[in-house]
């Protein structure tokens, strides 16, 4: 099968040549790498990747195909998908489509035959940067210029592009009523809440705190999502008004928004944490969990009031903040993804901790 030439141009002038699969055309976004060896369908459909072109470091992608169950949202949200080698002949009993067909049907560009080791190393050294993928404009200088003029992530509100447009109910059974503020929530977060006896409602990110309180939940979950937490001040303000009134659990972007609501600062990481093999230490137990991560921003540890906020988890690769807990209020959060999908399930127990917190608050013991 003859494939069309495609170029990936970075804003610093670096250009990689490959071959196209999936949709044709042109796309821009911040280019980042993901170190997971499997789970590409979950990665492609993770709303947190809105605004980003994802490179897979594992060399062969697409070998087990795509199916209708392994999705984390209603559609793919990556701006583009870059691999070393794409399999066009998947082999798995659950496979319904090839990766090529799936991306093509959803209008997502894919590029193969890229030296992903060289590209990943370049990003590790120079940092994540804006980029353009194209099968139409093959002029390198033109593409670099487009990359430089494309929007970055800092200060942008990407949550509005991924949040739900109305209140919905994931399930109606369960002892604990939980409202999920949807900033781009992954479906497995909802599944894990339901598996922990929670009655789950999902509300748009711009839902007013008064409306959430009127729903009389036992707790609120701040979901993951794309981009810069400073770009969604309306969610941060909602969180600030909910603090102390009911238990709150934040995941990924949820932690960052919580950190801002608590008076902290956030900053952009050089190349972010994306993948299923990030070691995190629980400072209370000393245990190490291998976690799933997908974020480009982080809460500044030194910006937090340590008299009110306890640091609970630290990333062992770079010592960045991975978890916090309020010393008095029923509030905690983690920067990694306890729901996995894809990835290891070392941190799944945190959903149980959220349930225990809601139970204590309900009984007035906190």
pLDDT digits (tens, 9 = 90+) for 207-237: 999 999 999 999 999 999 999 999 999 999 9
Distance, CA of 289 to CA of 266 (rounded, Å): 24
Residues assigned a catalytic role: 252, 337, 339
Are 299 and 324 in contact, with CB atoms under 8 Å apart?
yes
With cut-offs at 50, 70 and 90, classify the pLDDT of residue 343.
Answer: confident
Packing angle of the helix pair 253-261, 233-242 (nearest 10 deg): 70
What pTM, to 2 d.p., does this model score? 0.96
d(CA 81, CA 236): 31
Average predicted confidence (pLDDT) for the chain: 96
Residue 365: which pLDDT band, with cuts at 50, 70 and 90? Answer: low
Residue 366 confidence class, pLDDT cut points 50, 70, 90:
low
Same fold, 5-149 and 159-363: no
Q: Where are the domains of the chain?
A: 5-149, 159-363
Distances (CA, A) of 111 to 18, 27, 32, 96: 6, 11, 14, 21
| 135-161: pLDDT as tens digits | 999 999 999 999 999 999 999 999 999
pLDDT band, residue 363 (cuts 50/70/90): confident
Yes or no: say if 2 and 136 are a contact pair by the CB < 8 Å rule: no
Half-sphere exposure of 319 (CA within 13 A, CB side): 2
Check residue 33 and give its pLDDT: 98
Cβ–Cβ under 8 Å, residues 30 and 50:
no
Q: Are 224 and 186 in contact (CB under 8 A)?
A: yes
Is the pLDDT at 330 greater than 90? The verdict is yes
Distance from the Cα of residue 292 to its chain's centroid = 10
Please state which CATH class domain 5-149 belongs to.
Answer: alpha beta
Instruction: Read off the pLDDT of residues 59-90 as tens digits, 9 standing for 90 and up.
Output: 999 999 999 999 999 999 999 999 999 999 99
CATH architecture observed for domain 159-363 = 3-Layer(aba) Sandwich (3.40)
């Amino acid at each position: 099968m003859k494939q069309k030439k495609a170029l990936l141009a970075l804003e610093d002038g670096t250009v990689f040549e490959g071959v196209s699969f999936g949709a044709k055309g042109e796309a821009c976004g911040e280019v980042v790498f993901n170190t997971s060896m499997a789970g590409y369908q979950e990665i492609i459909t993770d709303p947190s990747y809105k605004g980003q072109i994802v490179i897979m470091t594992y060399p062969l992608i697409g070998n087990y195909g795509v199916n209708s169950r392994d999705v984390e949202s209603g559609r793919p949200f990556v701006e583009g998908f870059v691999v070393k080698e794409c399999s066009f002949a998947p082999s798995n009993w659950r496979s319904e489509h090839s990766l090529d067909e799936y991306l093509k049907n959803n209008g997502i560009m894919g590029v193969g035959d890229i030296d992903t080791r060289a590209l990943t190393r370049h990003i590790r050294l120079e940092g994540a940067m804006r980029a353009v993928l194209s099968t139409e404009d093959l002029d390198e200088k033109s593409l670099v210029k487009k990359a430089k003029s494309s929007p970055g992530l800092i200060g942008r509100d990407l949550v509005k592009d991924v949040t739900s447009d109305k209140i919905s109910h994931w399930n109606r059974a369960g002892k604990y009523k939980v409202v999920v503020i949807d900033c781009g929530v992954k479906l497995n977060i909802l599944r894990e809440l339901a598996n922990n006896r929670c009655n789950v409602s999902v509300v748009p990110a711009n839902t007013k705190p008064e409306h959430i309180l009127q729903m009389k939940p036992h707790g609120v979950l701040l979901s993951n999502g794309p981009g810069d937490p400073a770009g969604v001040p309306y969610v941060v303000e909602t969180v600030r008004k909910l603090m102390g009134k009911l238990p709150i659990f934040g995941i990924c972007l949820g932690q960052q928004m919580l950190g801002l609501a608590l008076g902290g600062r956030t900053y952009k990481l050089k190349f972010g944490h994306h993948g299923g093999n990030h070691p995190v230490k629980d400072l209370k137990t000393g245990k190490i969990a291998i976690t799933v991560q997908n974020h480009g921003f982080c809460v500044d540890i030194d910006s937090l009031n340590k008299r009110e906020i306890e640091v609970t988890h630290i990333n062992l690769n770079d010592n960045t903040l991975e978890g916090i807990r309020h010393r008095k209020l029923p509030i905690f959060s983690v920067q990694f993804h306890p729901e996995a999908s894809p990835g290891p399930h070392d941190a799944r127990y945190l959903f149980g901790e959220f349930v225990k917190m809601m139970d204590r608050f309900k009984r007035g013991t906190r």
